[in-house]
Every structure is written in C-alpha cells, then in structure tokens.
Amino acid sequence: MKVLITQSALDGRTDELASEINATYGEEPVVLLCVLKGAYIFAADLARRLTCPVVVDFIQVSSYGDSTVSSGVVQLKRDHDVNIEGRHTLVVEDIVDSGLTLEHLLAMLRTRRPRSLRTVAMLSKARARGFEAPLDWVGFEIENQFVVGYGLDHAENYRNLPYIGLMEE
C-alpha cells in the first residue's frame, strides 16, 4: 500500500477544518450527520474537535456495492433518527467522487427543512473530474484515483488504516 496522505497530515487538516467550523457555528447547536460507513473515522475525529453543542446521527447510502466504479444508483440504507427540522445540520462525508451520492442526500435532507444545511468531506475528486462539489469544507482535493483507509474501503477492507492509501496494482 502506498501512503497518499499521512496520519499526521489528516490530523492537522482536521484541526484546521474544525476551527473553521467552530467559527461558523459559534455557540449554536449542530446536528452532525455522519454518512456511513466511510465517514465514521473522520466524523469521530471531527466531532471531538467541535466546541458547539453537538448531536451525532448516522445515515447510510450505498451506490458502489463491491465495485470501484459508481453504479449511478443511490440507495438509502439507513435514515437518521434525530429530527433536523429547524436545526443546523452538517453532513460529514468521506469522499466525493461523481458527486451523485451527496447530490441525492442533500435533495432529500432539504425537504426536511433544516435551519441550515452544510457539508464537509475529508476528500474530494470533484475538481480532478472537472466540477465543483456542493461542499462547504474539503480536507484534501485528490486526483481521480481509488483510495482506501481512514474509513474508506475496497470490498469492506482497509477501513482501519490510519492513513489514506493507494492500492498497488
């Protein structure tokens, strides 16, 4: 496995994102919606750096199965429990690739009328693919390549790696 983003780079960038997010919300309470499974480590690291009152909930969508290429079909596998109506809501994503997952998710969440709806992703391939994702905060822009670790999997493996890695062919 080739290391693309080290553990200390992930830590440092999460510190920076958290201070921007803290500045945005101040003392206002926020619902953190962690998109399972890939964002579980990032969401846990980010949540512990937030200084506003935080409620954590989870949502799960699947679009890939065991493939490394998006099927184009976004399926809601688990909905959140907490009511987000009238509340600041921050969607925590692992990685944006085609942007399809996030687009579907945001369209669905908007119908639930949160007070505000913002998004943070640790990684994005959007620019490399030639578009801007609807993200308020991005950890790292990466090339259009398949990465694993820090929550991200390939066929459910490698999620526990403490860094972002590139699988060797």
Q: How far is the CB of 102 from ligand IMP (least distance, A)?
A: 6
Euclidean distance between CA atoms 115 and 137, whole angstroms: 18
- Which of 22/70 has CB closer to ligand IMP? 70
70 scored as a contact of ligand IMP (CB under 6 A) = yes
63 scored as a contact of ligand IMP (CB under 6 A) = yes
- Which of 25/105 has CB closer to ligand IMP? 105
137-141 vs 116-124, strand pairing mode: parallel
Expressed in angstroms, the distance from the first to the final Cα of the chain is 9
Please name which of 81, 79, 94, 5 lies closest in space to residue 41, comparing C-alpha atoms: 94
Q: How far is the CB of 98 from ligand IMP (least distance, A)?
A: 3
Sole window of 22-30, 81-89, 112-120, 141-149 interacting with ligand IMP (rule: CB under 6 A): 141-149
Q: Which residues contact 127 (CB under 8 A, 6 or more apart)?
A: 141
For ligand IMP, which residue of 46, 90, 91, 97 counts as binding (CB under 6 A)?
Answer: 97
For ligand IMP, which residue of 30, 91, 95, 105 counts as binding (CB under 6 A)?
Answer: 95
60: tokens are: 């799960």
Segments of 24-124 assigned E as strands: 30-36, 54-62, 75-78, 88-96, 116-124
Q: How far is the CB of 88 from ligand IMP (least distance, A)?
A: 22
- Which of 22/98 has CB closer to ligand IMP? 98
β-partners of residue 55 are 31
Rounded-to-5 percentages of helix, strand, coil across the chain: 25, 35, 40
For ligand IMP, which residue of 5, 96, 120, 164 counts as binding (CB under 6 A)?
Answer: 96
- Which of 33/147 has CB closer to ligand IMP? 147
The contact set with ligand IMP (CB under 6 A) reads 38, 63-64, 70, 93-101, 146-148, 152
